[in-house]
Amino acid sequence: MHELMITESLLEIALRYAEKEEATKITDLFLVVGELSSVVDDSVGFYWDFICNGSIAEGASLHFKRIPAELACLDCGYRFSPQENITCDLCDSTRIKIMAGKEFYLESIEITQDESKPDDAFNNASHSKIEQGSLGD
Amino acid sequence: MSRRISVVENILEANERIAAQNQLVLDDAGVLAVNLMASPGAGKTSLIERTLDELRHQLSIAVIDGDIATNIDADRAAAAGAQAVQINTGGECHLDAVMLQQALEQLELGSINLLIVENVGNLICPANFQLGTHLNILIASTPEGDDKPYKYPGMYRGVDALVINKVDLLPYIDFDMSYFQRGVEALNPGLTAFPMSCKTGEGVDGWLEWLRVQLAGVSGPH
């Protein structure tokens, strides 16, 4: 159940970047999760709903880009999935390198910024209307 | 208006930062820290008891025990002559750098040469969470089966040495050592391995000798 801690880290990172940009809301988080990272998307999603409460990321959607694991044989160059084997089925070598699948990072976030000035109330009102419309997409 | 911000930050970065701080604290005190990882029942606590038996007269040793619940392991380590701290993770499946940081505060590091951290029994998660220890050790035990490197590759990839415990049971079980070692070789080429039995004491000397060499490499206030 280490996804709780991971989800807290995720929020902390997203808030840090959002603050730098003076965001008023975080609407989406785009994560890259390799097959070998032992992170369960559903579990992160489950905790996220609780963790993001009360922050500017409340209600933000998580998007997972899953990277399949790929191994390569250093002797014959055969590329294969660790689901098949961890040694090379082609030349029997044990000299194997991980090419992909260890990734686990927050790639980007989608934020909204309130660019209205205090004397610009009309624009502000129409702006948030558009925002609400686009959130429903 | 809506905007996409590029982040590209490792989500475990916070843990890794604290792990690096832990290592600095240990280095300053001249303590060598080893992280023992294994599935439940592989013999982590038995290896600690063996190690304490042999080394406690030459070295000052502390043990930090991670478990979901109970003080059983820390009590065993204390009975064997170590300064012991128990961490109950309350359900977390592994130790992380923050837990180790808190446990380090409870130890008199200045009076210790060797710190043994016993991770939570688990063959998956501990591999992904650095603690700041200098050496990561995996204990495999023969009754678990010779296919474990193939099934839990992540654990075998990141370790600095491998203990193969319970070799005294080999005559009674189907454990193909060459199949096992071939899997290990693919995941961690040239990995130092110590076949042993914590019960009979067979092979323990090789492990102790290796540990002494690692300790000799530590510079510090001692």
- Measure the CA–CA gap between A112 and B154, rounded to whole angstroms: 39
* Any B CB within 8 A of A81 CB: no
* Any A CB within 8 A of B186 CB: yes
* Cα B156 from chain centre: 12
Closest CA to B115 of B207, B195, B36: B36
Per-residue pLDDT band for B80 (boundaries 50, 70, 90) equals: confident
All residues at 6 or more sequence positions from B171 whose CB lies less than 8 Å from its CB, including other chains? none
Q: Of A21, A31, A38, which has the smallest distance from its Cβ to B125's Cβ?
A: A38
Helices first, then strands: H and E counts in chain A:
3, 6
Dump the DSSP string for A59-94. Answer: TPEEEEEEE--EEEETTT--EE-TTT-SS-TTT---
CB contact (8 A) between residue A109 and residue B2: no
Closest CA to A38 of A114, A94, A93, A102: A102
* Any A CB within 8 A of B91 CB: yes
Of residues B81 and B33, more confidence is placed in: B33
* Any B CB within 8 A of A78 CB: no
How distant is the Cα of B167 from the closest Cα of chain A, in angstroms? 24
- Measure the CA–CA gap between A32 and A6, rounded to whole angstroms: 13
Q: Give the model confidence (pLDDT) of A54-100 as tens digits.
A: 999 999 999 999 999 999 999 999 999 988 899 999 999 999 999 99
How distant is the Cα of B145 from the closest Cα of chain A, in angstroms? 16
Average pLDDT over every residue of B154-164: 95
* Any B CB within 8 A of A40 CB: no
> CA–CA distance from B34 to each of A54, B70, B117, B119, B169 (Å)?
40, 22, 6, 10, 26
* Total residues belonging to chain B: 222
Per-residue pLDDT band for B190 (boundaries 50, 70, 90) equals: very high
Q: Which residues of A touch B185 (CB under 8 A)?
A: 94
The model's pTM? 0.84
ipTM attached to this prediction:
0.78
**For chain B, what percent of residues have pLDDT higher than 70?**
98
Average pLDDT over every residue of B185-209: 97
* Any A CB within 8 A of B90 CB: no
The residue in chain A having the minimum alpha-carbon distance to the alpha carbon of residue B94 is A2
- Measure the CA–CA gap between B109 and B64, rounded to whole angstroms: 12
**CB-defined contacts A:B, below 8 A:** 104
Angle between helices A41-51 and A3-20 (to 10 degrees): 60
Query: Does residue A132 register a pLDDT over 50?
Result: no
Residues 125-164 of B with CB under 8 A from A: 125, 127-129, 149-150, 153-154, 157
Average pLDDT over every residue of B179-190: 96
pLDDT of residue B36: 97
Q: Are A101 and A82 in contact (CB under 8 A)?
A: yes
Q: Are A25 and A135 in contact (CB under 8 A)?
A: no
* Cα B61 from chain centre: 14
Name the one residue in this structure whose structure tokens are 């128990």. B86
- Measure the CA–CA gap between B26 and B3, rounded to whole angstroms: 44
Per-residue pLDDT band for A131 (boundaries 50, 70, 90) equals: very low
Q: Between β-strands B135-141 and B32-38, what pairing exists: parallel, antiparallel or unpaired?
A: parallel
Per-residue pLDDT band for B206 (boundaries 50, 70, 90) equals: very high
Chosen for mutation from A1, A2, A28 (greatest number of chain B CBs closer than 10 Å) is: A2
CB contact (8 A) between residue A2 and residue B187: no
The residue in chain A having the minimum alpha-carbon distance to the alpha carbon of residue B189 is A95
